[in-house]
Amino acid sequence: MIAVLLLLCNNALAIDIVATLPYLGSIAHEVAPTAKITTLARGSEDPHFLSPTPALMAKVGAADVYIETGMGLELWSERVLDGAGNPKIRVGQPGYVKATDNVPRLDVPVNLSRAQGDMHPEGNPHVWLDPLNAPIVADNIAAGLGRVDPANAATYTANAKAFRAKIDERLFGKELVAFMGGDLLERLERGGKLAPFLESKGLTPKLGGWLKDGAALRGKPVVFYHQSWSYFIARFGVDTVGYIEDRPGIAPSASHRDELAAAMKARGCTTIVIESFYDDRLAHVMAEQVGATVDVVPGNVEGVPAATDYFSFMDTLVHEIATP
Ligand SMILES: [Zn+2]
């Protein structure tokens, strides 16, 4: 009897998914709720730098599907894959998923030089900070799962579609989605035309969700620590005064810090946003210098206890950064 139960359980957990980061684990769970999902980095860890330890390699050794952001974000991922000895999930194999395929990229460098910081040579990989990118990630995961498990491909596709509908409701509000449909709203918002469209039709009061909750973000002057925030900034219309780390991954010079402090004063910027995994001493020094406050926010799902999944993660960001 116990053997039979174990067998049934094993069937239900047929797919073994490993995701590099918690946001990917959360979205994978939406696409494949019954799968076994292991996440390599914790939400409180810097996603760029993780030690590719034998323990991580062992987690990947039996995976059917491996999901990473790619675009050079997880600098440790290649060594984990090299050490895992699992041919099914090597780059280019059916079990390998690059979550950022088809995501419209921001900050793609025009010319690369070491002096500019060479951390994000393929463009900004922090795509999950725009909720409109999350459904694209879900589609990529569904496609990968479908390649490995074709019998359930239609289910994965349907789950990704349901996730997109949930994201639309959380971003635009239920009422507006029911009225206009998620596809049209996404298209207008991507093109930067949603706000004027709603205004012209007298529909602005119907807007809900994160765009309404984050209304205070529009035009708000903010300094960020690392250049992770381009997608969030673009979606919510934040007025970015600058970055403490002016070149990604390189410690800022004193002259840059002075210029930034002057810009903060000139533009009335009183908010410095930093992800919880960075050393926040420099942010506090600058905040004291100009009379600003430091908002320590999660950089990923599970980065703080309240951010249990992608939805509560975005809730936390919008509310923390929008609050004066
Ligand atoms: Zn980065």
pLDDT tens-digit series, residues 53-66: 999 999 999 999 99
- Going from the N-terminus, what domains does the chain have, and what CATH number goes with each? 2-103+116-163 (3.40.50.1980), 174-207 (no CATH), 214-322 (3.40.50.1980)
DSSP structure class, residue 168: H
Tokens matching residue 9: 């359980």
Cα of 145 to ligand 1 centre, how many Å?
27
Cα of 252 to ligand 1 centre, how many Å?
15
Question: Where does the pLDDT of residue 114 fall: very low under 50, low under 70, confident under 90, or very high at 90 and above?
Answer: low
Specify the pLDDT at position 301. Answer: 98
Question: Where does the pLDDT of residue 117 fall: very low under 50, low under 70, confident under 90, or very high at 90 and above?
Answer: low
Cα of 282 to ligand 1 centre, how many Å?
18
Condensed to tens digits (0 to 9), the pLDDT of residues 222-276 reads: 999 998 999 999 999 999 999 999 887 788 999 999 999 999 999 999 999 999 9
Q: How far apart are CA 292 and CA 264, in angstroms?
A: 9
Cα of 123 to ligand 1 centre, how many Å?
10
Cα of 44 to ligand 1 centre, how many Å?
15
Specify the pLDDT at position 305. Answer: 94
Cα of 46 to ligand 1 centre, how many Å?
9
Q: Are 289 and 311 in contact (CB under 8 A)?
A: no
Residue 36's DSSP bridge partners are 16
Cα of 199 to ligand 1 centre, how many Å?
35
Mean pLDDT over 207-223 rounds to 97
**Closest Cα to residue 76, out of 44, 47, 37, 45?**
47
Query: Does the structure show a pLDDT above 50 at 122?
Result: yes
Cα of 96 to ligand 1 centre, how many Å?
22
Question: Where does the pLDDT of residue 195 fall: very low under 50, low under 70, confident under 90, or very high at 90 and above?
Answer: very high
Between 156-160, 181-185, 250-254, the lowest mean confidence (pLDDT) is in: 250-254
Specify the pLDDT at position 14. Answer: 80
Cα of 99 to ligand 1 centre, how many Å?
16
